[in-house]
Structure 1
């Protein structure tokens, strides 16, 4: 007798919620809901902070008396893996993303749209959005626009981005960061001092750290320590700073406290102006749309479960170190930073603000130098996971015992296996780990 697995996602949305989602999508309530379906987007491990889902609905349009099929993308709290579910709920990552889409994003858009009504050129590139539309956001599920259905796609998750993709993404990122400044400048002041309000004060329920924390026993702290153990396991195999390096013992001693500096880097700066940062801009969280010649013409980013309030330079450095190789990045760094700041300044100017008075070029470049080591450390930490093959990740995360060991205890056995057997994993991880050692530990 054949046994059918129960669809654990079937009850996440009520009939009324389905209708509200479709009404927002079609901008009309003139339809009859014929059929709905909700299920996993893929059998592969698509995300690390929630389950990725595909929603389908068939409606009968009253006006034309014809059926139309609609598709949506959704994220839910982990439903099948209890260890995964407990981890996400404890660090409250899903809560952050729900808060972003339900309250912060509408406010950011509201102030941008309000100011754009006064602009002469409504078709200017600054009007391009930087994420997807949200149709429903509640504690256990977020329903979003399906970017793939709109022609967007990922680049290869284990390949570095080329120049054109980086430039387009930096322009998009600049507009996203500028939205925070516009919000804070246009929103009514919260004090009689005339000082612009800070987003972190307006949304304190969103801006808390989920990953890089020093609190003993916190899942984020346990994850960091498990990652350090993983780094230590790969150290002796490095081509330039391995077991035969004269100061190998110095590296081993300093590495744990060096990584712990991430807990300071992710805090709001008291020196540089802060903006809402995505906090997790690696390849799989970025989508691109292309023209007929396969040139990228639009970028969007998703997954806001790690948003932070940090200087723009913090995010720029993280992004560049997570998506490019060292030589390429250093060769093009001046062009990358200039492109970002020109787009940032242009966006503010369109809204009648002078960037030099809010985040000057000198402040931006100084902060980039300060946060460059944060980018180096982020790459060394992220690549432990991001550079694994999808099949390997699927095997690790499908077993609760392996997942607990990997996420919260000790990554060593998994990283060494990949380092020895996967040339891409080995090359990319050796490069970022050696760069972190060179600049953050040996200070060369």
Structure 2
């Protein structure tokens, strides 16, 4: 088997021929694909992707079926996702199974869920994602190749604007559908037994609160620096331990009444809309979900709170928050009932109470995501610079092996001070930009979330 390329520079005509032949042969056996030419370009703009390298590949080919002598010209428009960093860093990134789970979402999980809802329901609860072409996740190798849906008219909403009314209703409905179908599927097939990499990992409620509280402490430091309202500052300091306990409690499976497949990073840039209307994407016809790298099996209210607080503006939340919750709950209830797995104990009032408890999660993640994604310094920062690697070298193989061996140590409790130092160094430039006040959109979104949460008693835990 041909080795998987590790970066843009290692993509070859021979590798593309192999994966495209395999892709075509899944539906049409004995198909062969001959690549005549290909072009590789960045898949996203600067600062739009931090944890991976996304590449757009346009491949011109000649396709033949079986023993036929006739060849058909075909163009493939692909997106290839690679990990970043050296072998050591990449193997560290695989420790939580996140890269493997993302490949499985495309290759196995969503197809299984779509088949299930079609067999038990009427087929109307389809979860739409880009078509899967190829994926590998083993020691020293990782790639996910999928169809480039932008050629079908799908686009991201401008992250600086926040979602429109139609957009968030569509995004909420699709999120509720993913949650409901996976919840029902689990009642008949035992999801985590069918897909073992999605099983709960003990390191999650230890590592994630560390990330959240590192941000929380940097936030207090920033507010002290700009001489923010002392009453709010004192509340944040005094309630720090309670906030940490609440965040950790939300992540513990024994505290989650409803568990299902959650996206884990469900915000503006991780779904794409299509519209045939002249007024653009504010009134879309369809939605496609992308970037499943943070997928988890846990409570759905975290996904919903994440969506609301990362992807909407203050006035919109004030006017439509209750409606969004009602829409989500009605869709979830209808779909689970239709698929033979009703949840009568999860009334709207119970659900709303869970959402209120989880709102601290949504607020903190909303502030974090906006701080990172709206920062101008991220457009040229080190996280968007990807250097070529040589994955065939001995040094690469040794680096990968060391990363796999050392990963459990780096994720252990004893290494938390080092992890915290790294996270602080990573986020401090964003807080420095916030302090200058020159990025008006960033400052408004950040402070709107803070003031709104403070006024609504979210920090009064």
What are the residue-to-residue correspondences of 1:237-386 with 2, within 5 Å?
Answer: 242-246=227-231, 248-255=233-240, 258-259=243-244, 261-293=246-278, 294=280, 295-351=283-339, 353=340, 355-357=342-344, 359-386=346-373
State the match for 2:451 in structure 1. Answer: 434
**For residue 397 of structure 1, what is the aligned residue in structure 2?**
383
> Structure 1 residues 214 and 41 mapped into 2: Cα distance closer, same or farther (>3 Å)?
same
| SS at structure 2 position matched to 1:157 | coil
Cα distance in 2 for partners of 1:179, 1:90 equals 28
Shift of residue 138 of structure 1? Answer: 1.4
The structure 2 residue matched to 1:206, chosen from 189, 195, 198, is: 198
CA RMSD of aligned residues (A): 3.4
Does the C-alpha gap of structure 1 residues 111 and 256 become closer, same or farther in structure 2, counting only changes over 3 Å? same
Shift of 1:414: 3.2
| SS in structure 2 of the partner of residue 296 of structure 1 | coil
Change (3 A) 1:60 1:170: same
Normalising by structure 2, what TM-score?
A: 0.77
Return the alpha-carbon distance in structure 2 between the equivalents of residues 376 and 368 of structure 1: 12
Note the C-alpha offset of 1:236: 2.6
Q: 2:115, 2:59 → 1: CA distance? A: 29
Counterparts of 1:277 and 1:65, CA distance in 2: 43
Bigger Cα displacement from structure 2, 19-28 vs 131-140: 19-28
Distance 2:196 2:365 in 1: 25
Aligned mates of 1:437, 1:393 — CA distance in 2: 31
Separation of aligned partners in 1, 2:18 and 2:81: 19
**Unpaired segments of 5 or more residues in structure 2?**
1-6, 387-418
CA deviation after TM superposition for structure 1 residue 278, in Å: 0.3
Q: Given the alignment, which residue of 221, 236, 245 partners 2:224?
A: 236
TM-aligned CA deviation for residue 42 of structure 1: 4.0
Task: Count residues in correspondence.
Answer: 409
Residue 412 of structure 1 pairs with residue 428 of structure 2: yes
Query: 1 CA distance for matches of 2:233 and 2:288?
Result: 42
Find the aligned partners of 1:256 and 1:87 in 2 and give their Cα distance.
29
Match of 1:144 among 143, 146, 153: 146
Q: Hey, what's the Cα distance between the residues in 1 that align with 2:21 and 2:104?
A: 22
Change (3 A) 1:339 1:53: same
Q: Contact 2:326–2:348 at 8 Å: present in 1 too?
A: no
1:41 positional shift: 1.6
Relative CO higher for 1 or 2, CA cutoff 8 Å, sep ≥ 6? 2
Task: Tell me the equivalent position of 2:392.
Answer: none
Structure 1 contact 212–224 (Cα < 8 Å) conserved: no
What residue is the counterpart of 1:101 in the other structure? 106
Tell me, yes or no, if structure 1 residue 110 matches structure 2 residue 131.
no
**How much has 1:306 moved relative to structure 2?**
1.1
- Which residue in 1 is equivalent to 2:74? 68
**Partners of 2:46 and 2:245 in 1: CA distance:** 32
- The 8 Å contact of residues 170 and 336 in structure 1, kept in 2 or not, is answered as yes
Matched, 1:179 2:174: no
Unaligned 5+ segments in structure 1 are 1-5, 188-196
Q: Normalising by structure 1, what TM-score?
A: 0.79
**Contact kept in structure 2, 1:222 and 1:409, CA below 8 Å:** no
